[in-house]
Amino acid sequence: MIRIAIIGMGLIGTSLGMALRNADPKESPLGSLEVIGFDREPRVTREARGRLAIDREARTLADAVREAQIVVIATPVRAIQDVLRDLASHLPAGAIVTDVASTKALVCRWAADLLPATVAFVGGHPMAGREQSGPGAADPDLFRNAIYCLTATSTTPAHAVEAVEALVRTVGAKPYYIDPEEHDAYVAGISHLPLLLSVGLVTATGNSPAWKEMAPLAATGFRDVSRLASGDPQMQRDILLTNPHGLTRWIDELIRFLVTAREQIAAGDVAAIEQMLEQAKTTRDAWLASKPHLRPGEAEFTNFPTVERPSLIGFRWPKREK
Amino acid sequence: MIRIAIIGMGLIGTSLGMALRNADPKESPLGSLEVIGFDREPRVTREARGRLAIDREARTLADAVREAQIVVIATPVRAIQDVLRDLASHLPAGAIVTDVASTKALVCRWAADLLPATVAFVGGHPMAGREQSGPGAADPDLFRNAIYCLTATSTTPAHAVEAVEALVRTVGAKPYYIDPEEHDAYVAGISHLPLLLSVGLVTATGNSPAWKEMAPLAATGFRDVSRLASGDPQMQRDILLTNPHGLTRWIDELIRFLVTAREQIAAGDVAAIEQMLEQAKTTRDAWLASKPHLRPGEAEFTNFPTVERPSLIGFRWPKREK
């Protein structure tokens, strides 16, 4: 029996719990599980329990991680620092800690600074989500076929990497090993920039004196491009604040694009606008067709990724250090 | 029997034909219909016929509009000028011409300049679409409950307005009368700006040297915000080119937003970022909750729109002028 503690029972924490508890212990590499849930708001933990995401509600952080082999921190990014600090003295020796935050460099630094040497940390980031938040929006299938970024260093114990990878596979996702800094630079472009553009679209139009007249005309295009603006502001705020270097570079890129497009539109430059639109369509259609939830190389066997991933064949839970 | 000619059998033209032919003649205010289709590519007209969008394929523009009571121009915006010029001498006296273009001011000016006095023009713009194009993507339910903008002036004959409104209701959409200039200013914000942001997101990330590594991480957020970039480049080009005044204003607004957000992110301004995110969420959630496809006032009977809409009660097809 593996005991997993989930700290933070929002959309991701609750979805993870549901997916873990739904897994068949005979088929899951983790075997049979007990999931303990904790949220600083007891009402939220109770709701997660109501959704069958956890076996038991913990009253305190210390209670949550008692005898836990795996601890998943699923709070907003900026809360992770405090959670790690508070957890440090309560974690059992040999425990494996992971998180689900959208930025990784800062979180990995906090973990290195704050966790005791008897505990292993593997950063995690499932590339999945939805605009609704809280346990009520949770979905056990949220991670199915999603890429799940994992960060490990040369000093991360193999059994810790194997355990977190087993957790990722148990919820139906695909482990994808990546350097934390690289992760942050990439997701700033494909995840945080889209968020900011959604918010920008709603801010620009919503602040207009004509918004009341415009709103009824807004249709599916507006709905989709603005979708991310309906996400959890607290979570989004932390994402934007913990990845400033990655994000500002992309904002500059977007401003450059808009300035150029504005000139071309004002000048009626047919050829340039046509080229811009055709290139974007080609890029996006190719992305869609490439089955984006395959890892690079997974589609072409000739190009198998060289990243080292511990095999799960013969995975056995290591003896607990006392 | 009303004869309707559709010029341009793309996504919208074909969807319109399908919706019109699906309508029950006993319930539709237009009664029984014959739909004639024309596209400058005979292959496309044939495909539309295969999708049961039209009763008959026309070989030429003149053939298409012969004895037509209603002519719907469903070509890309910039082609409308040529189509109107070519049609002018072939339109039967008393014919009613409408279009489905995403910009209205320029189209209304072209119609006023090019159409003979014996013909009436009512501009139209259904607020519905999808990123796929062509007859293969057509859907008879595309217009169901969608707002359908109509432009009419004080000199537009009442029977023409009634006929086009009847067509709009027949395909399940909701007529919404609006001034052409006002229309262009509004849709620039809620439709053309989202398009440009989709294209900008794909252009900025797709042109990055790291795109190959980033692409597999892109998930549903990227997919939705970039959706409009997969639309028909020819149609999009025309939209961007025929509404420069409306659009550049919104581009400036977006650049201002990005510059401000960039400063706040670089400075780690928690309060400002939080406020921006919360305000956007409030605006979008209210928009979603407001049943955006109701016309303003339709939800609250106390605020019924004062715009003059000819009643369809007792609608009879007027005698053809000879």
Q: What does the domain layout of chain B look like in residue ranges?
A: 2-179, 182-289
Q: Is B28 on the interface with A (CB under 8 A)?
A: no
| pLDDT (mean) for A45-61 | 97
> Residue A311's pLDDT is what?
34
| pLDDT at A129 > cutoff 90 | no
Write the class of the CATH domain A2-179: alpha beta
Interface of A with B in 294-313 (CB under 8 A): 294-296
> Does A112 contact chain B (CB < 8 Å)?
no
Average pLDDT over residues A178-207: 96
For residue B97, give how far its alpha carbon lies from the nearest alpha carbon of chain A (Å). Answer: 23
Q: What integer best gives the mean pLDDT of chain B?
A: 89
pLDDT at residue A299 in the model: 42
For the four alpha carbons of A272, A276, A281 and A282, in that order, the dihedral sign comes to: positive
| Six token digits for residue A197 | 């553009």
Determine, for residues A293 and B219 on separate chains, whether the beta-carbon distance falls below 8 Å. Answer: yes
> Among candidates B233, B244, B248, which has minimal Cα distance to B76?
B233
Handedness of CA A100, A103, A105, A107 (dihedral sign): negative
B198 close contact with A: CB closer than 8 A: yes
* A275, two tokens: 């080229």
Q: Tell me whether A321 touches chain B (CB under 8 Å).
A: no
| Spatial CB neighbours of B298, under 8 Å, sequence gap ≥ 6 | B305
Say how far apart CA B83 and CA B148 lie, in whole Å.
22
pLDDT at B317 over 60: no
A303 compared with B181, residue with greater pLDDT: B181
C-alpha to C-alpha distance for A208 and A227, rounded to whole angstroms: 19
Average pLDDT over residues A9-30: 95
- Are the C-beta atoms of residues A147 and B217 closer than 8 Å to each other? yes
Is the pLDDT confidence value at B309 over 50?
Answer: no
pLDDT at B293: 54
Tell me which residue has tokens 């600083």: A40
Q: What pLDDT score does B278 carry?
A: 98
Burial class (CB within 10 angstroms; exposed 0-12, middle 13-18, buried 19+) of A24? exposed
Set of chain A residues whose Cβ sits within 8 Å of the Cβ of B233: 274, 277-278, 281
Of the listed ranges B33-47, B159-173, B196-210, B302-316, the least confidently predicted one is: B302-316
Q: Picking from A87-96, A111-120, A207-216, which range would have the lowest pLDDT averaged per residue?
A: A207-216
For residue B266, give the chain A residue with the closest CA: A244
Contact A274/B233, CB-based, under 8 Å? yes
Instruction: Tell me which chain B residue has its CA closest to the CA of residue A150.
Output: B217
Confidence of residue A291 (pLDDT cuts 50, 70, 90): low
- SS3 state at B20: helix
Determine the distance from the C-alpha atom of residue B162 to the mean position of all C-alpha atoms in its chain, rounded to a whole number. Answer: 19
pLDDT at B141 over 50: yes
Residues from chain B contacting residue A226 (CB–CB below 8 Å) = 194, 284
CB contact B206 to A (< 8 Å): yes
Average pLDDT, chain A: 89
Choose from B190, B257, B278, B298 for mutation: most chain A CBs within 10 A: B190
Query: Looking at chain A, which residue has its C-alpha nearest residue B214?
Result: A186
Closest A-chain CA to B148: A217
Give the per-residue pLDDT at B125: 96
Three-state SS at A57: strand
Contacts A–B by Cβ distance under 8 A: 312
**C-beta neighbour count of B133 within 10 angstroms:** 19
pLDDT higher than threshold 80 for residue B16:
yes
CATH of range B182-289; options 2.60.40.10, 1.10.3660.10, 3.40.50.1110, 1.10.10.10: 1.10.3660.10
- Put simply, the answer to whether A228 touches B208 (Cβ < 8 Å) is no
**Given A191, A274, A277, which is nearest B222 (Cβ)?**
A191
| pLDDT confidence of residue A293 | 54
Name the H helices within chain B.
Answer: 11-22, 42-50, 61-65, 80-87, 105-114, 158-170, 180-187, 193-206, 211-214, 220-225, 233-241, 244-267, 270-289
**Is pLDDT above 60 for B157?**
yes
Candidate from B127, B182, B216 with C-beta closest to A147: B216
**B214-248 pLDDT tens trace:** 998 898 899 999 999 999 999 899 999 999 999 99
